[in-house]
Structure 1
Amino acid sequence: MAQRVNPVLAESTLPHGLPDFASISDDDFLPAFTEAMATHLAEIEKIANDPKPATFANTVEALELSGRDLARAGGVFFNLVGPDTNPQRNAISQQLSTMLTDHANTIAMDPRLFARIADLHERRDQLDLTESQERLLDKRYRDSVRAGAGLGPDEQEQMRQISSRLAYLTTTFSHMILDDTNASAVFVETAEELDGLSDGEIAAARRAAAADGHDDGYLIALELPTSQSVLTKLTNHEVRQRVFDASVNRCSRGNDYDTRELVLEIVALRARRARLLGYADHAEYVIAEQTAPDPAAVTDLLGELTASALRAGGRELTRLTRMTDEEIGPADLTFWLEVERRSTSAVPLDAFADYCELDAVLERGVFYAAGKLYGLRFAERPDLSGYHPDVRVWDVLDDTGRSIGLFLGDYFARPSKRGGAWMNNIVDQSRRLSMQPVVVNVLNLTEPDEGKHCLLTMDQLTTLFHEFGHALHGLLSAVDYPSQSGTSVPRDFVEFPSQVNEMWALHPDVLSHYARHHETGEPIPAELAEAARVAAKAETAHSTIEYLAAAVLDLAWHRLAPDEIPDDVEAFERTALRSAGFVGDLIPPRYRSAYFNHVFGGGYSAGYYSYIWSEVLDAETEQWFLAEGGLERDSGQRFAEATLSRGDSVDPLAAHEKLIGRKAEIGPLLTRRGLTPQG
């Protein structure tokens, strides 16, 4: 009888290798990864033991194309555990975190393999390689060195132990944030306490309370950042204070989900690893692989922006205090900012969401802009299933009608989904492997009652376009090697294409195409559309300050030497923020350390600055698009050819400079965020 093929590893017969999620059970994952790692190591043995002299093809390219079963398993599992986890999947991801790290270290530190890679790297100028091949060779060499391949046996063993423990700790950190975010939801007894929220939001709070076992009452679920969107609407100060306190105290309450000890151990281990590899600190270790030249350049940028933002914040607070006799505390600031926004708008902005129904924005806004710019068309495939009933699947067609990949959308919040919004690749594009991309966007919108519409706030609208910018980066990728495809670029460049795509959300041509009243079908009034654009451009100092405070906090943790690790997380936070000019508690960081998942659970350690670093490029590129005529196919094609299609096969900064004709400057960013002296 034929041996059963593990469904995780079975080659999919669905379009573009979309996994057959329905055929896979959680019990399949560990056996699949175990088998895939064994297969991968057998492939590595053949490469390392090849008796022929090392060539790019038999070493670097062979390494790049190996491990396809492992990539397939990862594409399935790690696109489940973020948006739809459960206790078994959490336990599997915990086990895999160390298994996969040990597996990667075994390969990176193999002396036979490293000798072949180092030999090619030394002779790289003689190999007649293409630019993408040169970058692949250089990246493989640097990755091996950074993994410890050039260290002695004792130091290599230390590196193995450190990286394995870090993998375990960062995975645990992410799990604990989701658990405590769910556990910190705020219960209120009456609908009157939710005054200011929409009927749909109140209904969602009632459903959440019922799902949590409450016979009556309402449950306010927390979002991932410190700032909670409900605080801009709730008129009840006491409820605002309860929500704020629940948010800011997550994972530091002394319960089973307290992450503060994990933070200290993660920071200490990262500092030790950096020192073993010859770096001064973890920030230097990370930024060596980014487009920023060094930590000092990042510190200078953050310092320049912080000084401007704090001046603007002072002016902002002065305006707000004139509006009320109440003392404005951290729980109240965004509420009064919203009051100010409404009072200064030419027309009431509350009605804007009535013209932003999710399906209309997707089909006639997000997809429409992609069609105008890049010639793409999206055909929904109800015959194809994602990993959860909420997930929708679209076939992505180019301007010749050829299918170039699949796009999956997973938009509604649920307790099994971690907070925030993100894009992932399920299948990486690669011409060499004849693979087309399969990408997913994940958001956390409130699911409406049956028969009701999901209406987007301005922030949610921006997020939808932002994450689709990441999706475009993956879908339009046209590279040879999978490790160079799409968003596989330096961390401080990866946000750039997604930020650029935000500009189309309120662009007149796009807004007029999707903005119809969800009940009457009437187009958005011109004065409301203009008021929305004005409001969107009026970036609050508050949002800039909370972001910069988080970026400064991230960098401060990762500039520490091994002998400088503190023993009190909150005390370190206060000192680090005061040293950077953030005095007082009125505007806390967007993420405090205990729930800073980007940094202690994800891939943004010493890299949270990336958003503002990329925004310098984005602000310049927005000006370039507008100068080139806006929503034009020719401009979109040029941007796709320079950035979206190239991934990491070229130097991304050099490609951007070639597109706009010079290096990007900070001026447009300062103007956009209202941080110029006149702002």
Structure 2
Amino acid sequence: MTASARLAELPADNPFAGDWSTPHGLPPFEAIRPEHFSPAFAAAIEAHAREIATIAGSGAAPRFENTVAAMERAGLGLDRVAGVFFNLTGSHTNPALQAVEREVAPRLARHGSAIYLNDALWRRIAAVDAEGLGDEERRVLERYRVRFRRAGADLDPQAKARMAAIAERLAELGTAFSQNLLADESGFTLPLTGEDDLAGLPPFLRDATASAARERSSEYPHVVTLSRSLIEPFLVFSTRRDLRERAYAAWVRRGETGGETDNRAIIAEIVRLRAERARLLGFESFAHYKLDDTMAGSPDAAMDLLRDVWAPALRRAGAERDRLQAVADGEGAGIAVAAHDWRHYAEKLRRAEHDLDEAEIKPYLALPGMIEAAFDTASRLFGLTFTELHNVPRYHPDVRVWRVSERDGREVGLFLGDYFARPSKRSGAWMSAFRSQERLNGVVTPIIVNVMNFARAPEGETTLLSFDDARTLFHEFGHALHGLLSDVSYPLLSGTAVPGDFVELPSQLYEHWLEQPEVLRAHARHHETGAPMPDALLQRLLAARTFNQGFATVEYTASAIVDMTLHLSSAGEDGIDVPAFEEEALRRIAMPAEIGMRHRAPHFAHIFSGDGYAAGYYSYLWSEVLDADAFDAFREAGDIFDPETASRLRAFVYGAGNLRSARDAYTAFRGRLPSIEPLLRKRGLAAA
């Protein structure tokens, strides 16, 4: 890091006090302890506040260099502290870090409000003349002006004070929501005490439940946890309907179990405060506020897309339900298929219709092979090379580190992979950055991390993935490439700093390569023999790509509709009865009782741990319209690795950050905006 990232006023034994002499500038994880963070945050916030005061109080005429560029050079110490801290609180937390998180979240919110509601600073930014600036400088200036206005810079003093109070309270609530959810997830285990409890579980899943028991020092030989990569296969394979019901109930009741970790009151307050903030800024609702600065542009546009997909998905899900019920009836089960049965009978139907068994596929989807497949795809598309580094700092022994290079050997950045579930990690999968690419403060290469929650194989054995797990790995690596390939000068525009309904394009587009026979033939190899996946199995796997897509589309789209509906509400002083609101929203769209939402509100971290995806969960579907159309560009070129198409993709999508609007970026790559038809074909929802 540059000298301006130092926090020299800290004690010398605080790792954030000075420069880091670690390889590639990695954080010195082994030296950083929880007690270092509070003083480091205090010093970094104070240093940044001084820098902002100097910019705002300058007597020189406002120019881009002394105002906007100066802001981009400020706060490097705070960026460094926050980059390490918030990555750790998501991927390897502990009670000490959680205590710091509760303390620092509102402090950071106050600091942000003090910047974006600073009258003198806003007057300088508003007065900067854009004449004669380059395209990137104009874009940075425009984005700062948008940010300040959306934060309330044009409001009167009383409204500004209220905006600051709302921001501080929302930071507290988002932290509490996340910590409650982690407590519910890490606190639950379903013990499997004997052969009867293990009925139906294939060897890989028995091994995974045994590993989970050892990981948690359980008194039981096997346990099911609420890690998605463990509970979903349990719901698929277990023949014990009573245990499936118990596991599913715990899964969908996270954040709604009563007591100290219940999130319902937190959600009601979050929704109310977001609605109030939007009204202060002159918007009809929080959803209108949020989508005003997106590719969709309005809640109506997003809801139109959701409705366009909902109707055919609902029809297909109804047909799928009838076929599952027929399977259960054929077995003499004597049940009406319920939500905790769907995955179980869907797997039986898939075997019958496609001669495809998840347990037959997994031996060919070893974690090392799928990592190599993701790397090889990036090499063939973008000319990247991945070299594993062993003697470098890492925040957990499971973490692996690779140096990413161009064809000519120049370093692109570092990629960290953290693949296994553990109690100290929140659920899900994500990409984040310890350091983002930029050129304003020297040539700064990115340090990008992918975090997963795969079920670990027993010691000495190879971890095997489901096809959905492998798709998740490719998805998150697509996000990683968006950060690694960033090629901008200004930090504000770097990497994934794009509209929420565009940020999923690089990740979802990357998933397409996993499904290509050329990629699978090269990398889907048996973990013991090294033999490639038999061609007959590969063809059956690909033929089943649209199997159960009614279910998958309904469970996702229902969550997106509830998210949008919640944030279109007026949310008065009494707040919202969240379960009742959710139930009524689902009733209005005729949600099938046999399908659960992918994320119910009490555990919907995407939209309540922070504002990132609030009124924005639709963005996965919006981006899927883009990714389905974008991959057609390679099909039209006749080569899934076509160099010219890949070069445009890197220039205008993966490498471009926020240099231009999402519509302009996509048009520059594709030559036009997309249509919805490729998406409907991809999901098997197009009319016959």
Task: Settle same-fold status: TM greater than 0.5.
Answer: yes
Residue in 1 that maps onto 2:352:
343
Residue in 1 that maps onto 2:662:
652
8 Å contact 2:205–2:233 — kept in the other structure? no
From 42, 49, 57, the equivalent of 1:49 is 57
Residue in 1 that maps onto 2:109:
101
What stretches of structure 1 of length at least 5 have no aligned partner?
A: none
- Calculate percent identity across the aligned residue pairs: 39
Shift of 1:584: 4.4
Residue in 1 that maps onto 2:3:
none
8 Å contact 1:439–1:475 — kept in the other structure? yes
Shift of 1:260: 0.4
From 485, 491, 498, the equivalent of 1:489 is 498
Give, in whole Å, the separation in 1 of the partners of 2:139 and 2:227. Answer: 39
8 Å contact 2:496–2:657 — kept in the other structure? yes
Q: Which amino acid aligns with 2:594?
A: L
Shift of 1:230: 2.0
8 Å contact 1:385–1:393 — kept in the other structure? no
How far does the alpha carbon of each residue in 1:638-659 deviate from its partner, in whole angstroms, 9 at most, with x for none? 2101111101012222121122
Give, in whole Å, the separation in 2 of the partners of 1:309 and 1:52. Answer: 60
From 451, 466, 488, the equivalent of 2:460 is 451
Q: Which amino acid aligns with 1:192?
A: D
Matched, 1:143 2:147: yes
Q: Secondary structure at the match of 2:328?
A: coil
8 Å contact 1:225–1:591 — kept in the other structure? no
Q: Which amino acid aligns with 1:262?
A: I
From 446, 455, 479, the equivalent of 2:488 is 479
How far does the alpha carbon of each residue in 1:281-340 deviate from its partner, in whole angstroms, 9 at most, with x for none? 110111111111201111111111111111111111122222221320111011111111
Cα 1:114–1:561, aligned 2, differ >3 Å: closer, same or farther? same
8 Å contact 1:410–1:441 — kept in the other structure? yes
Shift of 1:224: 5.5
8 Å contact 2:211–2:456 — kept in the other structure? no
Matches within 5 A, 1:189-588: 189-212=193-216, 214-223=218-227, 228-325=232-329, 326-346=335-355, 348-363=357-372, 365-433=373-441, 434-538=443-547, 540-563=549-572, 566-579=575-588, 581-588=589-596
From 30, 37, 41, the equivalent of 1:29 is 37
Shift of 1:31: 0.7
From 651, 662, 673, the equivalent of 1:663 is 673
Q: Which amino acid aligns with 1:491?
A: G
Give, in whole Å, the separation in 2 of the partners of 1:661 and 1:227. Answer: 43
8 Å contact 2:271–2:575 — kept in the other structure? no
Shift of 1:565: 5.8
Q: Select between 197-206 and 602-611 the one with higher mean Cα deviation.
A: 197-206
Name segments (4+ residues, structure 1) moved above 6 Å. Answer: none
Cα 1:565–1:513, aligned 2, differ >3 Å: closer, same or farther? farther
8 Å contact 2:202–2:359 — kept in the other structure? no
Shift of 1:197: 2.4
TM-score (norm 1): 0.96
From 625, 631, 641, the equivalent of 1:631 is 641
Give, in whole Å, the separation in 2 of the partners of 1:348 and 1:553. Answer: 34
Give, in whole Å, the separation in 2 of the partners of 1:566 and 1:98. Answer: 22
8 Å contact 1:429–1:485 — kept in the other structure? yes
Cα 1:564–1:622, aligned 2, differ >3 Å: closer, same or farther? farther
Q: Select between 634-643 and 189-198 the one with higher mean Cα deviation.
A: 189-198
Q: Select between 455-464 and 188-197 the one with higher mean Cα deviation.
A: 188-197
Give, in whole Å, the separation in 1 of the partners of 2:619 and 2:460. Answer: 40
Shift of 1:571: 0.9
How far does the alpha carbon of each residue in 1:238-291 deviate from its partner, in whole angstroms, 9 at most, with x for none? 111111111112221212211100010000110111111111111011111111
Give, in whole Å, the separation in 2 of the partners of 1:82 and 1:587. Answer: 29
Q: Which amino acid aligns with 1:610?
A: S
8 Å contact 1:499–1:615 — kept in the other structure? yes
Q: Select between 668-677 and 609-618 the one with higher mean Cα deviation.
A: 668-677
Give, in whole Å, the separation in 2 of the partners of 1:392 and 1:578. Answer: 46
Give, in whole Å, the separation in 2 of the partners of 1:5 and 1:119. Answer: 43
Give, in whole Å, the separation in 1 of the partners of 2:322 and 2:426. Answer: 37
Cα 1:575–1:227, aligned 2, differ >3 Å: closer, same or farther? farther
Q: Select between 45-54 and 629-638 the one with higher mean Cα deviation.
A: 629-638
8 Å contact 1:206–1:218 — kept in the other structure? yes
8 Å contact 1:372–1:632 — kept in the other structure? no
Q: Secondary structure at the match of 1:467?
A: helix
Give, in whole Å, the separation in 2 of the partners of 1:209 and 1:358. Answer: 21
8 Å contact 2:558–2:591 — kept in the other structure? no
Residue in 2 that maps onto 1:18:
26
Shift of 1:203: 3.0
Shift of 1:397: 0.8
Q: Secondary structure at the match of 2:503?
A: helix
Residue in 2 that maps onto 1:608:
617
Give, in whole Å, the separation in 2 of the partners of 1:389 and 1:347. Answer: 36
Q: Which amino acid aligns with 1:595?
A: H
Q: Which amino acid aligns with 1:195?
A: A
How far does the alpha carbon of each residue in 1:366-400 deviate from its partner, in whole angstroms, 9 at most, with x for none? 11111111000000000112111110100001011
Shift of 1:12: 2.1
Cα 1:644–1:69, aligned 2, differ >3 Å: closer, same or farther? same
Matched, 1:594 2:598: no
8 Å contact 2:231–2:247 — kept in the other structure? no
Aligned-residue CA RMSD (Å): 1.8
Q: Secondary structure at the match of 1:452?
A: coil
Give, in whole Å, the separation in 2 of the partners of 1:645 and 1:207. Answer: 40
Give, in whole Å, the separation in 1 of the partners of 2:517 and 2:212. Answer: 37
Give, in whole Å, the separation in 1 of the partners of 2:475 and 2:575. Answer: 37
How far does the alpha carbon of each residue in 1:30-63 deviate from its partner, in whole angstroms, 9 at most, with x for none? 1111111111111111111111110111101111
Give, in whole Å, the separation in 1 of the partners of 2:356 and 2:256. Answer: 42
Give, in whole Å, the separation in 2 of the partners of 1:47 and 1:572. Answer: 47
Q: Which amino acid aligns with 1:166?
A: L
8 Å contact 1:40–1:66 — kept in the other structure? yes
8 Å contact 2:366–2:464 — kept in the other structure? yes
Matched, 1:618 2:627: yes
Q: Secondary structure at the match of 2:414?
A: strand
8 Å contact 1:9–1:73 — kept in the other structure? no
How far does the alpha carbon of each residue in 1:589-633 deviate from its partner, in whole angstroms, 9 at most, with x for none? 111111111011132100000100000000001111122211233
Residue in 1 that maps onto 2:175:
171
From 647, 651, 671, the equivalent of 1:641 is 651
Q: Which amino acid aligns with 1:362?
A: I
Q: Which amino acid aligns with 1:321?
A: Q
Q: Secondary structure at the match of 1:656?
A: helix
Q: Which amino acid aligns with 2:414?
A: L
How far does the alpha carbon of each residue in 1:509-549 deviate from its partner, in whole angstroms, 9 at most, with x for none? 21122122111111211111111112224352101000000
Q: Secondary structure at the match of 2:428?
A: coil
